[in-house]
Structure 1
Amino acid sequence: MAASLARLCARLGPREIRNQSSLMRSIHHVTRQDPFAQARIADIGDVRFSSLYDLERVSDDIAAHYRAIHQAGLLPLSAGGDHSVTYPILRGLAAEAPVGLIQIDAHTDTWDEFQGSKFHHGGPFRLACEAGLIDPTRTVQIGIRGAQNTAQGWDYSDATGMRVMFMEEVEALGIESVVAEARRVVGDGPVYLSFDIDSVDPAFAPGTGTPEVGGLTSLQALQLVRGFRGQPLIGADVVEVAPPFDPTGNTALLGATLMYELLCLLAEQRATA
């Protein structure tokens, strides 16, 4: 199971993504968008935990934080942390009705309990599906790859109707066709976009907990995110940046750049709403 082999330190990702975001500029070179001119944007800080070592309480704290954001009519763009954070984020944003999901990742993250806990980075989308937060028939998982000790995650995604696009299919189709297929799957309804940095090949993003060779290039990753322009997003995240495993800082820089791409999508959506 992927969770058993993960390297730690994703908790340091948000701080380093913030550091690297100082290199981001405002006007996009392709779309000529300036998200800071299109919407009011602010870093509202970190989620405060009431009991750091109680994973269920941590999940509740994150969910409550995002519920308040959602009720205030804001569109959240989040930096993880490992992928376990996306489940409580969805609890806060999608409690009224299930939403579509665009997941860009090396792993399906649909495994069951691990070491007696359901709160781990290998199972957020199984939890979200079982809680009725995401519609599995409107879920697409892009870039999946890497050997596993059990087929449990792949089998769960398949059995529930999620569209799994293994990296070989992504490479064969090309980014434009992958975007078209993902748009077909999620349709026109509300959708959440979650980007795990391990979807990118470790040649470009070595600083992550569960690196898998044979992934997206950094350019493909940016083009993929940009392809979802106009999709009705309720929020997005970039997760699993683990700075200690990349002394160059390039993984966090890519994470910050991806967040800028997502910010452009969300700001344009807010400006045209």
Structure 2
Amino acid sequence: MKYPLSPEVKPEFCTIGSFARLPQEKANAKVAILGMPFDTAASFRVGARFAPQAIRQASMTLFPYHPIHEVYPFEDTNAIDIGDVSVIPHNIHRSYDLMEEAVIGLMKKGIVPIGLGGDHSITLASLRAAAKVHGPVAMIHFDSHTDTWDTYYEEKYWHGSPFIRAHEEGLLDSSKVFQIGIRGTLNHPGDVKGSHDLGFNVITTSDLQKQGFEKVIHKMREVIGDTPVFLTFDIDFVDPSCAPGTGTLEVGGFSSRETLEMIRSLKGFNYIGFDVVEVLPQYDPTQITTLLAATIVHDFASLIALKIKEDID
């Protein structure tokens, strides 16, 4: 974007409704934004169905260049925004089928999807798609909760169980799953032990503060290697002071600056998909949560653009 602005450049509040005004179609697209507005698997607050459009609106204030990675994340990837999956609000299984179909369609074309949730149950659909295209995948999971709880009121499919279901379905290479930032009160010690029992690598907030993220990255690089990896980011990883618009708040988290530093250091992995979940716009009166989510999407696309740039060089 060059200054002074010409009359053809629209102001930030003029939008066609897509993320950063991206087109729906573009030749040689390597990244696609898609909304996954399903939230009726949430256990407390609902409203994440409204997040995709709120995140898209917040994206209007982002500039096209990423100064840390020195890439144009959307231009360099020919990124597109294919809109929202037409989920069924009261039927998680039909919604899973629809989301999985959309993600498979992108992955088979070599396009990396960036999903806008939705509650965290949506990630199971993306992992099902990923496993069908790539086989069992590695996963980098930022969250304050493990989401490996088995049932809730005897229901097996909810936003607290996607990763125990993914393990049961053989979608994950369990030794290559890293759950980062787990914190908060628990029902009992088994809440975290359950993830360890599945073979996952759990790094609590306390662990992360003691080790430093560089040590965690080093271990992830050793363990994950070139395995296809899905990165899922629950916005409640971030402290509520920086991201109040979410459903299950946990105090004692990381600032937005610390969070972006971590994401920006995750270079060189073989990413085949991303999502950002659990944003609830109605609890975000100043839009700082949606702006952070949009910035995280910008960073996800930058990681893909950087990989493309390095492959060319």
TM range (shorter): over 0.9
Q: Is the 8 A contact 1:109 1:125 kept in 2?
A: yes
**Letter in structure 2 aligned against 1:109:** D
Q: Is the 8 A contact 1:111 1:152 kept in 2?
A: no
**Letter in structure 2 aligned against 1:75:** V
Secondary structure of 1:35's aligned partner: coil
1:52 aligns with 2:84: no
Q: Greater CA radius of gyration, 1 or 2?
A: 2
1:195 aligns with 2:233: yes
Question: For 1:21-43, what per-residue CA distance to the aligned partner results, in whole angstroms no more than 9, with x for missing partners?
Answer: 00111111222211233221011
1:148 aligns with 2:186: yes
Higher helix share: 1
2:268 equivalent among 230, 251, 254? 230
> Following the alignment from structure 1 to structure 2, what is the Cα–Cα distance between the partners of residues 4 and 37?
35
1:139 equivalent among 155, 171, 177? 177
| Greater relative CO, 1 or 2 (CA 8 Å, sep 6+) | 1
Question: For 1:241-261, what per-residue CA distance to the aligned partner results, in whole angstroms no more than 9, with x for missing partners?
Answer: 111112011001000011101
CA apart distance, 1:5: 5.5
Secondary structure of 1:37's aligned partner: coil
Question: For 1:156-202, what per-residue CA distance to the aligned partner results, in whole angstroms no more than 9, with x for missing partners?
Answer: 21112111000001111223223223323323211110011000010
Q: Is the 8 A contact 1:140 1:186 kept in 2?
A: no
Q: Aligned residues: percent identity?
A: 40
* Number of residue pairs the alignment of both structures matches: 270
> Following the alignment from structure 1 to structure 2, what is the Cα–Cα distance between the partners of residues 226 and 19?
23
2:108 equivalent among 56, 68, 71? 71
Q: Is the 8 A contact 2:143 2:237 kept in 1?
A: yes
1:20 aligns with 2:65: no
1:178 aligns with 2:216: yes
> Following the alignment from structure 1 to structure 2, what is the Cα–Cα distance between the partners of residues 59 and 113?
18
CA apart distance, 1:152: 4.1
Question: For 1:33-54, what per-residue CA distance to the aligned partner results, in whole angstroms no more than 9, with x for missing partners?
Answer: 11233221011111113x4322
Partner of 2:30: none
Q: Is the 8 A contact 2:119 2:159 kept in 1?
A: yes
Secondary structure of 2:112's aligned partner: coil
**Letter in structure 2 aligned against 1:214:** G
Secondary structure of 2:84's aligned partner: coil
1:7 equivalent among 18, 37, 45? 45
CA apart distance, 1:117: 2.5
1:94 aligns with 2:125: no
Unmatched segments (≥5 aa) in structure 2: 1-40
**Letter in structure 1 aligned against 2:238:** V
Unmatched segments (≥5 aa) in structure 1: none
1:110 aligns with 2:148: yes
Cα RMSD of the aligned pairs, angstroms, is: 1.7
C-alpha spacing 1:175/1:244, structure 2 compared with 1 (3 Å): same
Query: In the TM superposition, what are the counterparts of 1:158-177 in structure 2 within 5 Å?
Result: 158-177=196-215
**Letter in structure 1 aligned against 2:58:** Q
Secondary structure of 2:174's aligned partner: strand
**Letter in structure 2 aligned against 1:135:** D
Q: Is the 8 A contact 2:42 2:119 kept in 1?
A: no
Q: Tell me which stretches of 4 or more aligned residues in structure 1 moved more than 3 Å.
A: 150-153
